[in-house]
Amino acid sequence: MRTETPWSTLPARDHLLAGVGGAAGAPVLDVVVPVYNEEKDLEPCVLRLHDHLARTFPYAFRITVADNASTDRTPEVAERLARSLPGVRSFRLEEKGRGRALRTVWSLSDAPVLAYMDVDLSTDLNALLPLVAPLISGHSDLAIGSRLARSSRVVRGTKREFISRAYNIILRSSLAARFSDAQCGFKAIRREVAQRLLPMVEDTGWFFDTEMLVLAERAGLRIHEVPVDWVDDPDSTVHIVRTATEDLKGVWRVGRALAVGALPLDRLARPFGDDPRDRGIGGVPRGLARQLVGFCVVGALSTLFYLALYSLFRIGVGPQLANGAALLVSAVANTAANRRLTFGVRGRGGAVRHQAQGLVVFAIGLSLTAGSLAALGAASGSPSHTTELAVLIAANLAATVLRFLLFRAWVFPDRDRAAAGPAAVPAPPTAETIHDLRDAR
């Protein structure tokens, strides 16, 4: 896996070579099993998981037992397993929280693919290779097991089934989530994605999974879903009511952060051309295709907004004043939308300058449209409202082409975004920074 990458964007996903890892090198897959007071179930879980991986997984692997401040004999069992089984290690945390355990162990791992599963092994292990295969091949950034897919086979009580489906409906309606199962304890992520994504995830408990997936999806990362066979553990120690309450608080917090643009999701962007089919396109400036699509969408919506405003203002004032007012309001909205959606500029830095430059572009558009209206009035005297709209649409098309060129070359030039990128994106966390982060929390 490539590690030399500018920190303004994620590297293109590479297929991991078959020779990666091995006995003398880092494992390809690191499976984390977070536990709290699981002295009874830990040993059979690790033995079964180790046997399955040794028999079926074609790459080098590691199993990491992440002990969340257990107070029973769990640490002793974990240490014994680490001594007796190759590729097994134990990691002790002095604070509880599944999210805290995953963030810490994943951030310190040297494996290119990171996964986790619950200690009860409710998910059929035959889904493990399909889970991580898209990450190894470079197809996807994250992968999750889904108990709600059509082909999944699930055995669990009505209460848990209702809670799970209700929770996912809440996620879809409030956070526009498109993944089907946020809570299944069976997930994987590529390491370079985890290095960027994990420091942005605040939750240290059960909402950790949901927050990670929502941020990844909003950033445009590819999430692969695998239907799983799943049997409920009747002895599960999860407190359903308390967990549901914390999850709802997390949904509110993440939704509010996304609404105000407080999350630097641009640091998770993949470069244009990550798809191998895009690499054969020659002579196209980087990001141009994506920017053209974004600009066209924003431009179409802005034009509709402008025409609606013009029609509204035209009721009480003349055509020139109505045109100027409608164009001014829509220009401010257009610049703001293109700044964020088309050219990927986040944060408040430079926003005033961008709006000022956008107003200069607006003045050029105003000149084109005002000149067109003046020419129409001189030619026909009192044109109909429909004719005015037709002339304005034609003038706006010409102004739109010029606006895109000015936006790309002057208002939001590539050099400004490239210069701002590395400064806005920190280096991947080291063991020391993770330790400091854990202390701060």
- Catalytic residue list: 209
Tell me which DSSP letter residue 279 carries.
Answer: G
**42 touches 78 (CB < 8 A):** yes
The gap from C-alpha 5 to its chain's centroid, in whole angstroms, comes to: 19
**Angle, in degrees to the nearest 10, between helices 74-84 and 42-56:** 30
Residue 345: both structure tokens together: 């500029």
Euclidean distance between CA atoms 134 and 132, whole angstroms: 6
Give the residue among 24, 36, 102, 108 at the shortest CA–CA distance from 67.
Answer: 36
Euclidean distance between CA atoms 237 and 248, whole angstroms: 20
Tell me which DSSP letter residue 369 carries.
Answer: H
Residue 227 region, left (φ>0) first, then alpha (ψ -120 to 50), else beta? Answer: beta
Residue 275: both structure tokens together: 């798809």
**178 touches 415 (CB < 8 A):** no
Residue 412: both structure tokens together: 């939001």
- Strands 88-93, 61-68: parallel, antiparallel or unpaired by DSSP? parallel
Please list the residues that pair with 187 across neighbouring strands.
116, 144
